[in-house]
């Protein structure tokens, strides 16, 4: 079953919905992997797959479109993942996804390398390679090791844009954290949030 496909809403839908969404709590639980984060208060948090589930249930769409007998059913694949985005401003935000990974689809490590290559190549489309620096490291969150890929973009002598891609195969899920930062304050907020997060390791 090809469950590691990314299925995204159009960006226009996401941005329109973010403007109308009110978030009462900045604490978020990823129940599929047993992980809890506390989002900085000046970030707007949106769980657009969770909201889509609510919209689907409220509209009565589930009976019409759900087909659990079809392993490639697009709605099943869509709702099997978690995807949140939290935005401080257009240049400072983070995105977290968890989606089932099927070993029958190939190597997870190769899939992650393709994502790193894609992130770098996307940067190359907008800026010269001599203004890009990359680094691969390992970072721990609550004792869990993540592969970390960093692209630093030199916009001028004093300003750098930073893109980070952190990934891990955990409990059968492809677990990815992506964040973009233009100022050190936002970057420190995101990284403090990650370092303060906790996994439920008892389940």
Tell me if 173 is assigned to some domain.
yes
CB 70 within 8 A of CB 39: no
- Number of separate domains in the chain: 1
Tens of pLDDT along the chain (203 residues) come to: 444 444 444 444 444 444 444 444 488 999 889 999 999 989 998 876 555 555 555 555 454 444 444 444 444 444 446 789 999 998 999 999 998 999 998 999 999 999 999 999 988 988 888 999 999 999 999 999 999 999 999 988 888 999 999 999 999 999 999 999 999 999 999 999 999 999 998 86
Tell me if 188 is assigned to some domain.
yes
pLDDT (0 to 100) of residue 156: 87
pLDDT (0 to 100) of residue 55: 55
Tell me if 134 is assigned to some domain.
yes
pLDDT (0 to 100) of residue 73: 45
Tell me if 18 is assigned to some domain.
yes
* Dihedral angle of Cα 143, 97, 132, 139, to the nearest 10 degrees: 0
Rounded CA-CA distance 85/154 in Å is 25
Tell me if 2 is assigned to some domain.
no
pLDDT (0 to 100) of residue 26: 83
Q: Is 41 left (phi over 0), alpha (psi -120 to 50) or beta?
A: alpha
> Which residue range forms the structural domain that includes residue 15?
11-199
Tell me if 5 is assigned to some domain.
no
Tell me if 19 is assigned to some domain.
yes
Longest CA–CA separation in the chain, Å: 57
pLDDT (0 to 100) of residue 126: 86
Handedness of CA 40, 141, 27, 12 (dihedral sign): positive
Question: Which CATH number does the domain housing residue 179 bear?
Answer: 3.40.1000.10
Closest CA to 1 of 83, 69, 65, 98: 69
The two structure tokens encoding residue 63: 């009976």
Tell me if 3 is assigned to some domain.
no
């Amino acid at each position: 079953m090809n469950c590691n496909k990314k299925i995204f809403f159009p960006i226009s839908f996401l941005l329109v919905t973010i403007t109308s969404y009110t978030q009462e709590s900045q604490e978020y639980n990823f129940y599929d992997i047993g992980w809890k984060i506390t989002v900085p208060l000046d970030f707007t948090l949106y769980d657009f797959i969770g909201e889509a589930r609510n919209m689907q249930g409220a509209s009565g769409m589930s009976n019409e479109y759900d087909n659990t007998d079809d392993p490639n059913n697009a709605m099943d694949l869509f709702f099997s993942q978690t995807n949140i985005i939290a935005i401080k401003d257009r240049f400072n935000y983070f995105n977290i996804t968890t989606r089932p990974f099927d070993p029958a689809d190939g190597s997870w490590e190769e899939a992650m390398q393709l994502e790193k290559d894609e992130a770098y190549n996307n940067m190359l489309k907008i800026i010269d390679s001599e203004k890009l620096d990359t680094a691969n490291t390992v970072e721990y969150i609550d004792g869990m090791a993540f592969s970390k890929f960093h692209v630093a973009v030199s916009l001028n002598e004093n300003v750098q844009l930073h893109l980070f891609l952190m990934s891990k195969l955990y409990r059968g899920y492809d677990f990815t954290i992506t964040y973009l930062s233009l100022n050190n304050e936002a970057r420190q907020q995101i990284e403090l949030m990650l370092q303060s997060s906790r996994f439920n390791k008892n389940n």
